[in-house]
Structure 1
């Protein structure tokens, strides 16, 4: 075991995660940088809307920014795997911060040309540093104990979800004292400070894109009983299940709004969204405290099945208060399922490919959500609302059931990476 590796603990805890050498530095710096992904979208939307006076322009800019951010994430993660965090993240963060600053200046003007805003937003999304994927890959390298790593991933998933809640609140406070474009400038500062803090950490400074080491090799051992999940099978499984969960969640906001309108209680919407986040945070923290002996791949499928089944049942709620209860219950499965997906990708990817494997899981989740949001807009109003809930949950249920069935060739040779 290397000098920086934690002592293996019979009862790993969140405190043990944070006591691991350099983890607090990496975790804190990355969270500071990732806060920009909670502040930048709303700041961009408000800025473009204020400067152009057009919701269509704001929507177009946001769509382009979102597409390049999500779809090019694996390519950016591949750069990190190839060149190492320091050599890849630093120029990405500098370019991203400069483009956010340019967007802030452009949006602060009067009637800026929409094509210019679209081009800047697309370019910013294309170079957004994959701080989440890098953080999880670094945690995997620093923490060879798989039970302790599961707790680290659970903590990271819950913290990331809280960032997407606190980011918009920060923008709301900021816009009370400054123009909306100031939020873009703050976002640029956050990503620069967080990325520089991350790449100057002793745990990252010496990484130059190597294909692994002792810690990396130890982290491929898998978790729970049974053989390690085959490389490509495990990554594909994590990606497929994540995409199906994204479908569940991508349509959720619109379905809840439609449910509130149908029952003439629009006030249920924020309560339902808060219940989902609260349930997810509780579920994620509980996952990190339970001593599980279920293989990661099986656990992922079971959690996705639970998420889909509960959200489908939520559509049958007789009253908005019942909907909130069902949604809170569904949230208990969300963060644990995402944590399990990231863990499975990490276990299965092999040294030198972990950053992009985690990025693909995130991309699949977001892509599924985007597609589902568009589909829900077409279905709501044309089909019974309960059926819409069921249709959006169906991919998660089906994918979970399919992935629970062992493949006939599972006993064969492991595919080469």
Structure 2
């Protein structure tokens, strides 16, 4: 913990972490807020699901695009434009009397205009700390983001069910605007300039480490989403146990990230972390007892944040600085698609074999990630004793020969 204290004392680091956490806090609230609001207005979970799907498609499509725009137009311009549009779309969802197509259109717009805060902050991090602090910073970031997934769903559920769904969406819009403004106005955002990428759009994802980060992110988040569906199916929407068990899963990830964040990242680092996740998720299928599930998910969670930290580090270390934001955009898109796939597969298996089917889906997603990490181990960069910062952008310099 002394190392993390020293890290947080580095100028700008604590502010960046806090600002991006608040700016990203609505990401843990928006889906649930939209689901509750649209279901109440249309009296149909099917309609609410279509609206959520539109928002997810928008986010998946926009991630790499808006991230790349930051190199062409500047971070603050892109973040401000997307923030204004996204906030307006959420306000429209809350206040306008809409039919289903209208809800879907505004949800798609909200997804397309989601501010690329995650790509921006992970592009800024290498400019804030020295090379020895970068891997622990990624681990700390991956760990602290669990706060979003622990607190945000509880807050939005209480507000939407006890006060009203309109108020719930207004709360999302308020935090989105305030947190986004805090992040955008942070001095570090104004100081970092992303050079314009000279490579064609999408080429960066073909680099083996970036492709691995996208694929494994898809599988890891797919496993986590299947767990969420399984826990809800086990204990019901109104069961206190469901919230507690999911909180334990997130706490495990938080603890794992803090405990393992100082370890150097070698080619086998991802496989070792995914092995922890896979073993924990396989054990969940032995019993649906609340204490057993809590213990096994605590174990599985210990590997989640450290695995994400590896994804962040290998992405940063394998690209030029001008490509970093787009690379993280592709990784984020992979995770979004993984979340949708994990939920869908878990739902299908629950219909056939009950809640245990969701834990089977989670274990299979994690095992697939482990297989990819093992079979592609040579494609993972060895960051032990190496600067994990992005490669500098260089240009040919014209010289006049005598």
TM-score scaled to structure 1, two decimals?
A: 0.80
Do residues 252 (structure 1) and 223 (structure 2) align? no
2:104 alignment counterpart: 118
Pick from 172, 177, 181: which aligns with 1:196? 181
Pick from 170, 179, 193: which aligns with 2:164? 179
Do residues 29 (structure 1) and 2 (structure 2) align? no
Tell me if structure 1 keeps the 8 A contact 2:284–2:359.
yes
Structure 1 range deviating more: 252-261 or 90-99: 252-261
Tell me if structure 2 keeps the 8 A contact 1:379–1:388.
yes
> Helix, strand or coil: the match of 1:353?
helix
CA distance in 2, matches of 1:231, 1:60: 32
Cα-to-partner distance string for 1:250-275 (whole Å, 9 max, x where unaligned): 221333345558xxxx7643332122
Change over 3 Å in CA distance of 1:369–1:39 after alignment to 2: closer
Cα-to-partner distance string for 1:129-184 (whole Å, 9 max, x where unaligned): 011221121112212323x2222222222222211222233324434774321222
2:264 alignment counterpart: 293
Change over 3 Å in CA distance of 1:177–1:254 after alignment to 2: closer
Do residues 65 (structure 1) and 64 (structure 2) align? no
Tell me if structure 2 keeps the 8 A contact 1:137–1:355.
yes
2:202 alignment counterpart: none
Tell me if structure 2 keeps the 8 A contact 1:251–1:376.
yes
Pick from 98, 104, 110: which aligns with 2:94? 104
Do residues 274 (structure 1) and 247 (structure 2) align? yes
1:284 alignment counterpart: 257
Change over 3 Å in CA distance of 1:120–1:23 after alignment to 2: same
CA distance in 2, matches of 1:104, 1:381: 33
Gaps of 5+ in 2: 198-204, 382-392, 394-402
CA distance in 2, matches of 1:40, 1:171: 8
Tell me if structure 2 keeps the 8 A contact 1:26–1:198.
yes
1:314 shift after superposition: 1.7
Tell me if structure 2 keeps the 8 A contact 1:140–1:149.
yes
Tell me if structure 2 keeps the 8 A contact 1:82–1:352.
no
1:330 shift after superposition: 0.6
Pick from 289, 294, 303: which aligns with 1:333? 303
Number of residue pairs the alignment of both structures matches = 374
Structure 1 range deviating more: 274-283 or 18-27: 18-27
> Helix, strand or coil: the match of 1:68?
helix
CA distance in 1, matches of 2:272, 2:379: 22
> Helix, strand or coil: the match of 2:145?
helix
Query: After the TM superposition, which residues 191-270 of structure 1 pair with which residues of structure 2 at under 5 Å, given as runs?
Result: 191-210=176-195, 232-259=207-234, 268-270=241-243
Normalized per residue, the structure richer in helix is: 2
CA distance in 1, matches of 2:32, 2:21: 18
Cα-to-partner distance string for 1:189-240 (whole Å, 9 max, x where unaligned): 222222222222222213343269xxxxxxxxxxxxxxxxx99121112112
Tell me if structure 1 keeps the 8 A contact 2:194–2:321.
no
> Helix, strand or coil: the match of 1:349?
coil
1:43 shift after superposition: 2.2
Gaps of 5+ in 1: 1-10, 213-229, 412-416
Query: After the TM superposition, which residues 389-400 of structure 1 pair with which residues of structure 2 at under 5 Å, given as runs?
Result: 389-400=359-370
Tell me if structure 1 keeps the 8 A contact 2:265–2:310.
no
Change over 3 Å in CA distance of 1:233–1:409 after alignment to 2: closer
1:407 shift after superposition: 6.9
TM-score scaled to structure 2, two decimals?
A: 0.83
1:384 shift after superposition: 8.0
